[in-house]
A and B are shown apart, each in its own frame.
Chain A
Amino acid sequence: MDKFFFTLALLVYCVSFVGFFIHMLTLRKEAKRWALVVLTFGFILHGTSIGARWIEAGRPPFVSFHEALSLVAFFLAGLYLLLEIKYRLKTIGTFVTPIILVTMGAAAAQPQKIVPLPPALHSVWLPIHATICFVAYAVFALAFCISVMYLIQERQIKQKRLGGLFRRLPSLDALDVMNERCIKVGFPLLTIGIVTGSIWAEEAWGRYWGWDPKETWSLITWFLYAAILHQRLTVGWRGKRAAIMTIIGFCAVLFTFLGVNFLLHGEHSYATGF
């Protein structure tokens, strides 16, 4: 049942991406409006799939790699919709939906069967810790998108090539402000995510911090974003430098989220092999 809704959501997200793409090409407002409606519909389907899986598994669906990817995509779609309701930013959809699609695609490629939860991980902290971390990842993914757009637009203006893309992207200041907002929301979330994680670790493994690769890398990520925020607030780092830093920060997020899982092994690995 959850698989059916998941596949449907993936297809609907594809349609929404096509809509955003058409909007980017033609700048027709209706295209964007429809793309947003379709995306909302996909978001609801996606939520249904996650809910169905929760019921089916009898535990929060935050355990396997498939589930983790699916959740990040879900939060990213939700966040983008929120942002759109609040700020109405020209063509961000065209940049965000591909990331949603890639994440969903990766989730679809993972084994989807429901694996049992190791008894050590049974805790209320599982949904709390995982949700907070995944939302933080989604926020950073959004900041990444915005930074990429910033760098493209910055380059166009710097080199005085004011073609079609220039007209279609938002203004530099708007992108920079949005980036700042994302970091200001994402950083506290990441902090809380790490804190709740260590509380849970104490409960499950009897230690707050064990320098497990995932823990180490999340700390590195935390320091990177702390540096971005610090520099912005004290020296006024912004614009291009902030955008590049945000992209580097997101690479660290990716490594914490994925790399640690595949390259290094620790107790945090998603339960694919169980």
Chain B
Amino acid sequence: MPRGFDKRDAIVLIGVNHKTAPVEVREPMALKGLDQEPLELFRSVDHVREVLFLSTCNRVEVLFTSSSPGKSLAGLKGIWAEKSGLPLGVLEEHLYEYRDEDAIRHLFMVASSLDSMVVGEPQILGQLKDAYRHASEQKTTGMVLNRLLHKAFSVAKRVRTETKIGSQAVSISYAAVELARKIFGELGDKVAMLIGAGEMAELAAQHLRAGGIKRLIIANRTLERAVELSHELGGEAIGLDEIEDAMIEADIVISSTGAPGLVLTKEQVKRTMRPRRHRLLFLIDIAVPRDIDPGVNDIENVYLYDIDDLKGVVEENKEQRAKEAKKAERMVEAEVLKFLSWMKTLDILPVIQGIQAKAEAIRKRELERSRKRLGGLTKEQEEAIDVLTNSIVQKIIHDPIIVLRKNASNEEATEVLLDAATTLFNLDSDL
């Protein structure tokens, strides 16, 4: 658009995620060990005006605005490859690249957790907020990214509150924790016990820890492994023969031993109920073959879930979530359109500013010229003339500016109007 004004900056997003790049590529791209601030690094690239750097375990992305996106992209990729120690070719092979509308959509999808490995998981929004806070502390964001990020946060919030996308557990260990919540409500005063210290049990224990349980008891065939895990997760280690005593205190039991036979029989569990004062007991058996006698579920106030039960819960939730994701995507789409129409209003800003500047310049010049002929004036008179001329100018340019603003979201009309305004006010030659 040869109008003598810069076209507004382009919004560009490049990055890698769990779908496009293996962890060996994602890791160095996070630029963790660098002594230089990545934001500074990226901002120093030619034409880059605003920049944001998002790095999580599943994705690394750079979002920036640039007046010359092609040049900036090349520069940015070069510097990213250099600093991460990856060959440029490798980097380019895994990178995705989005511009303007697509970049906005991608950001909204990421914020709403629609692009996550586990769709609907809530952490990503917090990570994005942190990244934004960091960027704004470093003062690398400006008008466009500020607005874009705030919009992304509000879209994410809308998706979360208006769809049920985040309301169901889609991993087995998380489903176990959700179930525990439905049985116990708050987990703050509950005691959990792990029988067997396998990977699955560890994962479930981490979820329980995050859920806020009070104590963790870890029972294992080899005590060393139990002690090791108890250091890692913060808990008490016991031997397998102490299980029955520990059951008296435990509210949640997760069993995952590799034992060929039963580890907990119905009789054992029944015996503990009296000393437990019939407190609710939630047993999760994720071992194959099973550790806990299925008949345990028949005991009053005892709830036993095995791996298949939990899988059933997860499958049901996944289907539900896929449906909700569709709804969320429609919501994102609507918000992208809204943001684009705001972006278009940015096109007219330089023209409006040009009109205002020109009018003001004319006023100043004419005022200066007439001052000599007006002779000596009192201060009040001078002020009155200033106010008078100013209000005449403002009134004259008021309507054109209003018309420009009103049509800003209509692309065709804007095109015509901007050309007309530029010609009528002869903005090209003056500025």
Contact of A239 among B179, B301, B305, B313 (CB under 8 A): B301
A86 at the interface (CB under 8 A from B): no
A205 at the interface (CB under 8 A from B): no
| Chain B residues, CB < 8 A from A166 | 182
| Chain A residues, CB < 8 A from B278 | 235-239, 241
| Chain A residues, CB < 8 A from B364 | none
| Chain B residues, CB < 8 A from A172 | 182-185, 280
A240 at the interface (CB under 8 A from B): yes
Give the docked Cα–Cα distance between A39 and B354 (Å). 60
| Chain B residues, CB < 8 A from A269 | none
Contact A236 B277 (CB under 8 A): yes
CB closest chain-B residue, reference A162: B313
In A147-170, the 8 Å CB interface with B consists of 153, 157-158, 160, 162, 166-167, 170
Contact A239 B297 (CB under 8 A): no
CB closest chain-A residue, reference B181: A171
Contact B301 A240 (CB under 8 A): yes
In B128-168, the 8 Å CB interface with A consists of 167
Give the docked Cα–Cα distance between A157 and B162 (Å). 27
Give the docked Cα–Cα distance between A269 and B174 (Å). 57
Give the docked Cα–Cα distance between A239 and B184 (Å). 11
A185 at the interface (CB under 8 A from B): no
| Chain B residues, CB < 8 A from A176 | 280
| Chain B residues, CB < 8 A from A153 | 182
CB closest chain-A residue, reference B298: A158
A212 at the interface (CB under 8 A from B): no
Chain A contact residue count (CB 8 A cutoff): 20
Contact B277 A235 (CB under 8 A): yes
B350 at the interface (CB under 8 A from A): no
Contact A162 B300 (CB under 8 A): no
Where chain A touches its partner, the secondary structure class is helix
Query: In whole Å, how far is A260's beta carbon from the nearest beta carbon of chain B?
Result: 33
A202 at the interface (CB under 8 A from B): no
Give the docked Cα–Cα distance between A172 and B319 (Å). 26
CB closest chain-A residue, reference B162: A28
A173 at the interface (CB under 8 A from B): yes
Give the docked Cα–Cα distance between A157 and B277 (Å). 21
B309 at the interface (CB under 8 A from A): yes
Q: How would residues 308 to 329 of chain B score, 1 for a CB under 8 Å from any chain A CB and 0 otherwise?
A: 0100110010000000000000
| Chain A residues, CB < 8 A from B274 | 235
CB closest chain-B residue, reference A237: B278
Where chain B touches its partner, the secondary structure class is mixed
A195 at the interface (CB under 8 A from B): no
Contact of A171 among B167, B183, B297, B316 (CB under 8 A): B183
Give the docked Cα–Cα distance between A237 and B185 (Å). 19
Give the docked Cα–Cα distance between A235 and B279 (Å). 11
Contact A167 B167 (CB under 8 A): yes
Give the docked Cα–Cα distance between A239 and B181 (Å). 16
| Chain A residues, CB < 8 A from B312 | 160
Contact A238 B182 (CB under 8 A): no
Query: In whole Å, how far is A91's beta carbon from the nearest beta carbon of chain B?
Result: 13
Query: In whole Å, how far is A273's beta carbon from the nearest beta carbon of chain B?
Result: 47
| Chain B residues, CB < 8 A from A173 | 183-185, 280
Contact A160 B280 (CB under 8 A): no
Give the docked Cα–Cα distance between A167 and B320 (Å). 13
A174 at the interface (CB under 8 A from B): yes
Give the docked Cα–Cα distance between A167 and B317 (Å). 12
Contact B183 A157 (CB under 8 A): yes
In B270-306, the 8 Å CB interface with A consists of 274, 276-280, 297, 300-301, 303, 305
In B178-192, the 8 Å CB interface with A consists of 179, 181-185
| Chain A residues, CB < 8 A from B181 | 171
| Chain A residues, CB < 8 A from B185 | 170-174
Most buried by B among A171, A173, A176, A241: A173
Contact of A158 among B167, B276, B303, B316 (CB under 8 A): B303
Q: Which 8 A-B pairs have the closest CB atoms?
A: A236-B277, A171-B185, A174-B185, A239-B301, A173-B185, A173-B184, A236-B278, A172-B183
13 residue pairs of the A-B complex, CB under 8 angstroms, read A153-B182, A160-B313, A162-B316, A171-B182, A171-B183, A171-B184, A172-B182, A172-B185, A173-B184, A235-B277, A236-B278, A239-B278, A239-B300
Other A-B contacts than A158-B303, A174-B185, 17 sampled, CB-CB below 8 A, are A157-B179, A157-B183, A162-B316, A171-B182, A171-B185, A172-B182, A172-B184, A173-B184, A173-B185, A173-B280, A235-B274, A236-B276, A236-B279, A238-B279, A239-B300, A241-B278, A241-B300
Residues of B near any A CB (own CB < 8 A): 167, 179, 181-185, 274, 276-280, 297, 300-301, 303, 305, 309, 312-313, 316
